[in-house]
């Protein structure tokens, strides 16, 4: 059974059970004249309470169950829309975030835990003098670090993956055209994936 169908089936079953209980409570109260039964019980058991006080209680119970039914019905019909609405909001948020990263004037490179590049924004392409993201994606992030800075860059990367706070440091990069550029390298790990 698909999860979406299961999500809408559960509240529907709850609504049906609540309706059945409400109808049952109301039927029993009317059919068996519960007030007179309770009055007889209290008289025989010498409980000392007036069963007339309980009559409104049964009415309130029936109304309460009915209101619960209406509330659950509203939730049952609203839940799929809420889930779809939440998905839409999440997608919009992801799109806005991606747009901010892509259009950021700061060069950004995203890599997997092995150091393979999975994303570069336009500013990083310009800095590295690359024509298209495909020229970097899939390659090692260390490829662009000048050989004399690679040990330091690798250490910073390993510390970032370990969750340690890593200060921003100057690293020398080698661009695609062979020229060098000094950059302030900062990094953070995304452990939520």
Tell me the pLDDT tens digit for each residue of 129-140. 999 999 999 999
Does 152 lie in the same domain as 66? no
The answer to pTM > 0.85 is no
Does 114 lie in the same domain as 89? no
- What is the count of structural domains for the chain? 2
Residue 118's CATH number:
3.30.450.20
Does 132 lie in the same domain as 51? no
The pLDDT value given to residue 138 = 93
Does 135 lie in the same domain as 62? no
Q: Which residue shows structure tokens 């209680």?
A: 57
138-172 pLDDT, tens digit per residue, is 999 888 999 998 998 888 888 888 888 888 888 89
Q: Of the candidates 74, 103, 132, which is a domain's last residue?
A: 103
For the segment 100-118, the average pLDDT, to the nearest whole number, is: 87
Domain that holds residue 152: 109-185
Does 10 lie in the same domain as 81? yes
Segment among 33-47, 48-62, 145-159 with least mean pLDDT: 48-62
56-96 pLDDT, tens digit per residue, is 555 566 666 666 666 766 766 666 667 777 888 889 888 88
For the segment 32-45, the average pLDDT, to the nearest whole number, is: 63
Is residue 190 in a domain? no
Is residue 191 in a domain? no
Angstrom distance (rounded) from CA 93 to CA 84: 14
The pLDDT value given to residue 17 = 72
Does 123 lie in the same domain as 66? no
| Whether the Cβ atoms of residue 180 and residue 148 lie closer than 8 Å to each other | no
Does 115 lie in the same domain as 97? no
Determine if residue 111 is left, alpha or beta; phi over 0 gives left, psi from -120 to 50 gives alpha, anything else beta: beta
| Whether the Cβ atoms of residue 173 and residue 143 lie closer than 8 Å to each other | no
């Amino acid at each position: 059974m698909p999860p979406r169908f299961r999500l809408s089936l559960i509240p529907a079953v709850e609504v049906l059970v609540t309706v059945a209980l409400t109808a049952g409570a109301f039927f029993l109260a009317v059919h068996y004249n519960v007030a007179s039964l309770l009055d007889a019980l209290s008289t025989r058991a010498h409980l000392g309470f007036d069963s007339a006080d309980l009559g409104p209680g049964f009415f309130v119970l029936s109304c309460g169950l009915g209101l619960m039914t209406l509330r659950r019905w509203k939730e049952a019909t609203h839940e799929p829309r809420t889930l779809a609405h939440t998905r839409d909001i999440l997608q919009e948020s992801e799109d806005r975030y991606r747009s901010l990263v892509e259009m950021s004037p700061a060069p950004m490179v995203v890599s997997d835990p092995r150091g393979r590049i999975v994303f570069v924004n336009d500013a990083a392409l310009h800095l590295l003098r690359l024509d298209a993201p495909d020229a970097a994606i899939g390659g090692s992030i260390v490829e662009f670090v000048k050989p004399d800075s690679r040990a330091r860059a690798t250490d910073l990367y390993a510390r970032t993956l370990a969750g340690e706070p890593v200060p921003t440091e100057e690293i020398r990069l080698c661009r695609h055209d062979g020229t060098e550029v000094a950059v302030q390298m900062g990094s953070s790990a995304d452990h939520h994936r």
